[in-house]
Structure 1
Amino acid sequence: MTGFAQLLGGAQLFANGFALDVPETWHQGRTAYGGFSSALALAAAQQVGGKSLPPLRSAQFAMMAPVNGLVEVRARVERAGRNATWIATEILGEKGLAFTANFVFMGAVESTLHLNERPLPRDLVALENAAPITITRHTPAFVTNHFEMRHALPAHDSPQPEICRWVRLADGQGLDPMVSLVLLADAIPPGVMPVMSSIVPVSTMHWQVNLLSPSPVTDNGWWLLRSVGDYAEKGCSSQRMAIWNSDGLPVMAGMQSIALFG
């Protein structure tokens, strides 16, 4: 099984990025899993930004077309200021542009404001008591091959538009910590899935993430991921997302727009 670090290590390098083949083990349907494409884009941005690049603080991802087969990942510095750097990345496949990303890397600055209101779910199941998810024929290939997941909330009396799981990479060795976190950050299904009447194809269109720590860390690779659907009409859903480390400290906040094909 080809891990993400191994893939990056075997990529064909360019001055502004790299090329590689996307293994089907990283697929979600006919495209690469969104966190995989996002982590590719971040790796290219870090390559172009160089060793002096500040920590990642915010990113926007647009999933425009399937990312599969041989792809080229190219990045460019849009602006490098005194304290922040903006980098844009594109992933191109056989049919052209498939994925875009915009990153903001920013160093710490002095501030008198201290606010961090991202409480854990009230009925959270502790990692040591959490049951593994059940693998079925509908489970995406990337989950089966590259992740471990456990249910982080007890069963509800009635379905809720929410999914919360403990998640870790099966093989995260050799990865930059921020690339590893982005790779994992989109691993759980959309929050509206439990309230849908049938299993239908879904696809992320846009994804915005804000990093709440410049250097996120956790114990034994486990992170808590939560997605809460708060809107679904005419095939479009909006959801709020959050990630905490094993100590319950918030490390990422996000929002996604999702296409529901049914």
Structure 2
Amino acid sequence: MSFPAILAAASKTATGFDAHVPEDWLQGRTAYGGLSAALALESARTIADGLPPMRSAQVSFVGPLSGDVSVSSRILRQGRNATWVSSEVQSEGKVGLAATFVFMGPMESELHLNDAGAPDDTIAVDDAVIIPSDKGPGFISNFDLRHSLPRADERQPQMNRWARVRDRSGLDPMVELVLIADAMPPGVMPLFDSWRPISSMTWLINLLTPAPVTTDGWWQLRARGTYAEKGCSSQDMSVWNAAGEPIAAGMQSIAIFG
């Protein structure tokens, strides 16, 4: 069941909507984090008319979410330039995700800084090696994935991939981006000698443009581990479009069991 189909089947409520998370969107015993965050954003962006684009999100993965879920949102503050909206996703009456979104329109500025271009050795999408969708967590089947960098000579705490949502029909561009931006294993995964359980705890994502666009749905994702001690890993995350333009930057905290 695609994400657009999940939204189409959702039932509106006074503060959001009720939806169902099918098994092919699960990551272990909980919903894939990008799906839960995208549900929260879909609710937040429709809470008021005329909201500007979403520019930043702070997401906490509080507990497991699966099956029937309830998504609700409320405005925290609406100023002249920015609006803060809080969203929750609940399952069986318990909060599984809590998020705060900031919606803000463009403003005039004399400051121009952009040094976040895509890696120089990026492999073109058409030449990139396809990653099979029948391996890994079940939610992977909803994406097309390819390796975007040459294989490194030594193991590094970094992973780069091309990614595309297979069915993105009718999706708001910001919702599509949030849906796909978390579709990476932890950056420290290449350092593992064997598989071990992991769990995302928090995620901060900043949109670097009010209008994310790319070619044929392809985005390049990077997860780069910067720290891992005592079962906690911190990583930087980046998203570029097919032209190599920076689209989003983020940070995530991940629990590593073992």
Give the TM-score normalised by structure 2. Answer: 0.98
Residue aligned with 1:49, SS: coil
Question: 235, 240, 247: which one pairs with 2:236?
Answer: 240
Tell which deviates more after alignment, 126-135 or 103-112.
126-135
Q: Number of residues paired by the alignment?
A: 258
SS of corresponding position for 1:35 = helix
Moved more, 53-62 or 119-128: 119-128
Cα displacement (A) at 1:122: 3.0
Q: 1:156, CA displacement in angstroms? A: 1.4
**CA distance in 1 between partners of 2:13 and 2:68 (Å):** 15
Per-residue displacement from partner, 1:180-206 (whole Å, max 9, x unpaired)?
111000001110000111111111000
1:135 CA drift (Å) = 4.4
* CA-CA distance at 1:28 after TM superposition: 0.6
Question: How far is 1:155 from its partner?
Answer: 1.1
Gap runs ≥5 in structure 1: none
Does 2:30 match 1:31? yes
Q: 1:95 and 1:110 mapped to 2: Cα distance?
A: 44
| 1:101 alignment partner in structure 2 | 99
2:53 to 38, 52, 55: 55
**Per-residue deviation, 1:220:** 0.3
Local SS of the residue matching 2:186: coil
Counterpart for residue 116 of structure 1: 114
Q: Which amino acid aligns with 1:143?
A: I
How many angstroms apart in 2 are the aligned matches of 1:64 and 1:19?
19
- Identity across the alignment (%): 52
Alignment check: 8 A CA contact 2:44 2:74 kept: yes
Are 2:119 and 1:140 equivalent residues in the alignment?
no
Could you list the runs of 5+ residues in structure 2 that have no partner in the other structure?
none
Q: 1:64 aligns with which of 62, 65, 85?
A: 62
Distance (Å, rounded) in 2 between the aligned partners of 1:68 and 1:95: 12
Letter in 2 for 1:225: L
Q: Distance in 1 between matches of 2:151 and 2:61?
A: 32
Question: Matched residues in 1 for 2:4 and 2:152: separation?
Answer: 38
Query: Partner letter of residue 4 of structure 1?
Result: F
Partner secondary structure for residue 48 of structure 1:
coil
- SS of aligned partner of 2:110: coil
1:16 matched to which residue of 2?
15
**Aligned position for 2:42:** 43
Q: Flag as ranges the 4+ runs of structure 1 deviating above 2 A.
A: 134-137
Distance 2:118 2:47 in 1: 36
Asked if 1:200 corresponds to 2:196, the answer is yes
1:187 pairs, out of 183, 186, 189, with: 183
The 3-state SS of whatever aligns with 1:98 is strand
C-alpha root-mean-square deviation of aligned residues, in Å?
Answer: 1.0
How many Å separate the matches in 2 of 1:116 and 1:191? 23
Return the alpha-carbon distance in structure 1 between the equivalents of residues 158 and 186 of structure 2. 8
Are 1:92 and 2:90 an aligned pair?
A: yes
- Report what 1:161 is aligned to: 157
